[in-house]
Amino acid sequence: MGEFIVSARKYRPTTFKQVVGQSAITTTLTNAISENHLAQSFLFCGPRGVGKTTCARILAKTINCQNINEKIEPCNSCESCTSFNESNSFNIHELDAASNNSVDDIRNLVDQVRFAPQVGNYNIYIIDEVHMLSSAAFNAFLKTLEEPPSHAIFILATTEKHKIIPTILSRCQIFDFKRISTDDIVSHLTFVAESENISAEQDALHIIAQKSDGSLRDSLSIFDRLASFSKGITYKSVIENLNILDHDYYFKITNSILEQDISNALLTFNKILENGFDGHHFINGLASHFRDLLVSKDKETLVLLEKGKALKQQYLEQSNSCEQTFLLIALDICNKCDVQYKTSKNQQLLVELTLMKLCSIGIEELKKKTTNSIKLPTSSPKQEKVVADAITEIKKEEQKVEVLIEKPKQTQTNGVEIEKQDSKISRLITISDLPDPLKEEQRQETIKDKKKNEFNNEQLQKVWQEYISIQKEKGKSNFATTLDMNSPVLKEGNQVEILISNKSQEIVIEKEKIDLHEYLRKKLENDAIEVITKIQENNKERVPYTNKDKYEQMAKDNPNLNTLREKLGLDFDF
């Protein structure tokens, strides 16, 4: 049995053309080599497994190749390329800064830099995980990095750029490697599967790519594990091996929500819990599912749906059954559940309540939510008759009428209100002058809906105390104490006056005044209630505080107390 080599090493790129998902960086490096514009220090930074060290090795191998072709690729036949491929090159040095991070390690490196290369044009030093160097090691490296010998090139690689001191960053040419897209990873995994004669479903490869979070090395590691698990890599084997919640569950849950079937939704969720999945993981996955459905509703945003062809078709079909408003409300509900999950004492009940809320979003309820604040314009026979009569009247009078305006009385002619003033004005009436029957109808409904219930001081005090209790429960103790110290007084015109002691109390009340108004108006059924604050004059007598103050107050009320003290020869230590 031959030696097994993991796919991440076996299919590691050896030329810039083979590097996956970093075309901008590879093109820049290729042009720099061809035009001889190479910097003497590079910094490759980005997430794990995206090709930083690979590009560093390709760059080192290419610039030392003695027979570079027109495509700026190493020949793999010269002495420098051969020694590099056999891992015994004397010109390319790799240092792991995670285990060699002391000042002495850097000093040894600086001492080696002085020597010219034995083969090729450059001595190349690749320092991986450079952010692990100590501060002293960084400082010892500064001078050499700023003015290295002409034959030395440094390539630094790191996953945590923010940990590198600014003086090092300023001396390097920085390349930011991006996460590799799902499509690029799937394409590379397909190539590896074909090379290894492994059958792999596209949906399965998409799941692997999404699980790797943009890291090609991680995706290849998962690929090797799944290839060992079964002969072929299928969607079912991937979700089973990686313990991923199947998309079918989310499609079933969404269908139950659309059908308002609470029982089936709860049973499906219970089955998910029995399979060992976490409720928080499920609710986040459901939110992502709604997001994907929302993306599927528009052809322009369909590119954001990173799924296989078969799965993408399922999303397109289900998205046609979902209204956009429904998906937005569902996303909002799932987001609230996600925020509350960690602080909830009964997390399973929280998710179940969320599912119940989602099932309660019906088509009729959606219409109410969208038209609650805005009434759509409708045309009734009565309204049409009003407009028609007005137009006819204008034509009869040759579009010119005498309008009497008199304050404050109002008259109504053919459903059109005309204000009267003392003077007479002659003007031309056009269709734009006519009142909108719909707006007039809404105005009348608003007047009818406005509550003006009568209430007394006793009712006010009761509601006031209830509101104080609610504010204490909410943790607004300062506001509640201020209200409790200053009792309200009912004035004329539904005004509620609060006598306060100082300006600071007024500021505290003003911050919560809107909420106070809403509560009083709702509880007392009177929309005309207005709370006003008034700072009262301080006419109270000074409260005795010390023992001396207390005695003087008692002696003032009863002068015989001083006489008694003198006769008994008593004295007090004030």
Per-range mean pLDDT, top range of 52-61, 79-88, 311-320, 503-512: 52-61
Q: What is the CATH number for 95?
A: 3.40.50.300
Write down the pLDDT at residue 171: 87
Is the pLDDT reported for residue 163 higher than 70? yes
Total number of residues shown for the chain: 574
Q: What is the CATH number for 192?
A: 1.10.8.60
Strand partners, 127: 95, 156
Query: Is residue 36 one of the residues assigned to a domain?
Result: yes
Write down the pLDDT at residue 399: 44
Query: Is residue 31 one of the residues assigned to a domain?
Result: yes
Query: Is residue 1 one of the residues assigned to a domain?
Result: no
Is the pLDDT reported for residue 433 higher than 70? no
Is the pLDDT reported for residue 445 higher than 70? no
Domain co-membership, 17 together with 145? yes
- Residue where a domain terminates, one of 391, 420, 449: 449
pTM of the full structure: 0.55
Query: Is residue 376 one of the residues assigned to a domain?
Result: no
Domain co-membership, 260 together with 306? yes
Domain co-membership, 20 together with 125? yes
Nearest to 130 by CA among 91, 178, 90, 171: 171
- Residue where a domain terminates, one of 241, 272, 291: 241
Write down the pLDDT at residue 570: 75
Phi, psi at residue 109, to the nearest 5°? -65, -45
Query: Is residue 555 one of the residues assigned to a domain?
Result: yes
- Residue where a domain terminates, one of 371, 403, 423: 371
Query: Is residue 514 one of the residues assigned to a domain?
Result: yes
**% of the chain exceeding 70 in pLDDT:** 82
Q: What is the CATH number for 312?
A: 1.20.272.10
| Whole-angstrom distance, CA of residue 381 vs CA of residue 509 | 51
Domain co-membership, 278 together with 402? no
Q: Quick one: tokens of 267?
A: 């049973």
| Whole-angstrom distance, CA of residue 31 vs CA of residue 150 | 20
Domain co-membership, 91 together with 168? yes
CA angle 323, 327, 328 (to 5 degrees): 115
- Over the range 407-437, which residues count as b (16 or more CB within 10 Å of their CB) and which as e? eeeeeeeebbeeeeeeeeeeeebeeeeeeeb
| Domain that residue 403 falls in | 381-449
Domain co-membership, 86 together with 170? yes
Write down the pLDDT at residue 78: 83
Query: Is residue 2 one of the residues assigned to a domain?
Result: no
Q: What is the pLDDT of residues 318-334, one digit of tens each?
A: 888 888 888 899 999 99
Domain co-membership, 141 together with 12? yes
Domain co-membership, 234 together with 265? no
Domain co-membership, 19 together with 92? yes
> Contacts from 494-497 at CB under 8 Å and sequence distance 24+?
494/526, 494/528, 494/529, 494/530, 495/529, 495/530, 495/531, 495/532, 496/460, 496/520, 496/529, 496/530, 496/531, 496/532, 497/532, 497/533, 497/534
Structurally, the chain folds into a number of domains equal to 6
Domain co-membership, 500 together with 551? no
Domain co-membership, 194 together with 158? no
What's the pLDDT band for 449 if we cut at 50, 70, 90? low
Domain co-membership, 210 together with 258? no
